[in-house]
Amino acid sequence: MEMKDLFEKVMQKSINMALATSVDNKPNVRVVTFAYDPARAGKVFFTTFNRNQKVKEFAENPYVACMPIPESPEADAQVRIFGTVQKSSVSLDEIIAIIAKKYPGNADTIKEGGSMMDIYEICFDEAYVTAGMNPAEKVNV
């Protein structure tokens, strides 16, 4: 399977991703549920409460790394993404629809957050895909 195909497979099948930020040379990582739409290549979307620590960290340093977490220990590949994060103009309903395809129960949680939730997007041009014991390969998106 081509690396670009592995990238798409991981992005479509994974529900959560590890999201890493860094402020004052202090890294911080957390797990968030994400949405990926191949029609919007080069962007990963997620929701977050608008008053939490990660939003403050985004304001101080918009450079982030993320890695979708495979749902199965037999996953074909791992994907690493480095990019910049910003508040998104995509509607909450659009993001809920994408997330609900993979994780239907999470849609209600997002809706309950209402005005306390914001949508963010990570913008990137390339990702790194590792398959098996092979070295990571860069994939342009």
- The helix/strand/coil state of 84 is strand
Query: What is the amino acid identity at position 13?
Result: K
Beta bridge partners of 51: none
User: What is the C-alpha end-to-end distance of the chain, expressed in Å?
Assistant: 17
Do 71 and 103 touch, CB atoms closer than 8 A? no
For the domain covering 3-140, report its CATH number: 2.30.110.10
- Give per-residue pLDDT as tens, 19-51: 999 999 999 999 999 999 999 989 999 989 888
Check pLDDT > 90 for residue 103.
no
Average pLDDT of every residue of the chain: 91
Strand intervals (E) in the chain: 16-23, 26-35, 43-49, 63-69, 77-87, 117-123, 126-131, 137-140
| Structure tokens belonging to residue 35 | 């949405």
Check pLDDT > 90 for residue 72.
no
| Structure tokens belonging to residue 106 | 């999470």
Check pLDDT > 90 for residue 107.
no
Residue 35: CB atoms within 10 Å: 26
- The helix/strand/coil state of 27 is strand
Output the pLDDT for position 126.
Answer: 96
